[in-house]
Amino acid sequence: MSIAIVTGGASGIGRAIATSLVARGDTVVVTDIDTEGAGRVADKLNTLGTGQAASARLDVTDADAVNDLYKGVKGDHGRLDLVFNNAGIAIGGLAEELTLDHWNRAIDINLKGVVHGVHAAYPIMLEQGGGHIVNTASLAGLVPMPIGIPYTATKHAVVGLSLGLRAEAAGRGVKVSVVCPSFVDTPLLHNVNPGLPETALSGDATGDIAKAAPGLYTTQKLARDIMRGIARNQALIVAPAYGRAAWRGVRLNPGLAVRAAQIAVDRVRGGKN
C-alpha cells in the first residue's frame, strides 16, 4: 500500500490516476487548484471500500505551498511513495497570435508546477531511500506539435527534466517516469487558453483535434497504462499506440515529422480563412 500525491487530481487524467491508486488499496491525497472538485473526487473514492483518499487545495505555481503539502503528507504518513506532478493547462494558437501571457502561464503551470513538485518530493525520497516521481508531460513533449508552441516547449522541458533526473536518481533508489499521452478525452481539450487572450484555438479544440488525430484516448485506459508503466519502472510511458508510432517517426525522420505537422497547420489556417 503506497502513500501518493496527485496534482490536478480533480479532473481528467489526475482523477483517473487517483481512482486507480485507491482501487488497488493506496492512500491518495488528491490536490487541485479546484478545491471543491478535489473534495468531490476524494469523497467518491472513499466509497470504493479499498484504499483511502483525502483532498487539499494546491496551486502548483506556489512553490512554498507545494513544499508544505508534500512535507505534510510525509509527516502525517511517515513516508511518501508516489508523486504525480500532473496539473496542467492547454495553450493553443498560431505563434503570431500568442502573447507573453500565454507563454508565461504555460511555463508557470506546465513547467514550474512540475519543477516545484520535483523540488519538494526528491529530497523526501532521497532521505527515505526510495519513491517514484511520475511527471505528466505529453506526446507534445516528444514530437514537433505546432499551434500551441508554449505547450510543446513546456512539455519537452518536462520530458528533459524527468529523464535527466531519472539518470541522477537511479543510483539513489528513487525512480522517475514521464507520461506522454496523445489526445485524451478530458475537459482540458474543451478549455484551451483558460483566462487568456483568444486565439484561433481558444475554447473547445476537439473539432480541430478530430482533423489531426485518429481519436481521443480514455482516461481509464491511460491510467491503466500508467499503472503498468510504473510497475515496470518505464522511463517514458507513451500512449496510445498511434502516439508511440508518431514518436518513432520523429526519431527516424525529424524533417518528415515537421512536414507532417505542417498539414495540421494548413488545416487550422484553412479553417480560419
d(CA 135, CA 158): 7
Say which of 70, 122, 151, 217 is annotated catalytic.
Answer: 151
Residue 109 makes contact with ligand NAD by CB under 6 A: yes
Closer by beta carbon to ligand NAD, 38 or else 169: 38
Closer by beta carbon to ligand NAD, 206 or else 253: 206
Residue 59 makes contact with ligand NAD by CB under 6 A: yes
Of 196, 164, 193, 158, the closest CA to residue 178 belongs to 158
CB of 106 to ligand NAD, least distance (A): 9
Applying CB under 6 A, among 19, 20, 138, 199 the residue interacting with ligand NAD is 138
CA 263 to chain centre: 26
Closer by beta carbon to ligand NAD, 57 or else 126: 57
Residue 25 makes contact with ligand NAD by CB under 6 A: no
At 51, the amino acid letter reads G
Interface region with ligand NAD, contact rule CB under 6 A, candidates 45-53, 55-63, 233-241, 245-253: 55-63
Where in 183-242 is the site for ligand NAD (CB under 6 A)? Answer: 183-184, 186-189
d(CA 88, CA 151): 9
Residue 180, strand partner residues: 238
Residue 242 annotated in active site: no
Footprint on this chain of ligand NAD (rule: CB under 6 A): 7-8, 10-14, 32-34, 37, 58-61, 86-89, 109, 136, 138, 181, 183-184, 186-189
- Please give the positions annotated as active site: 151
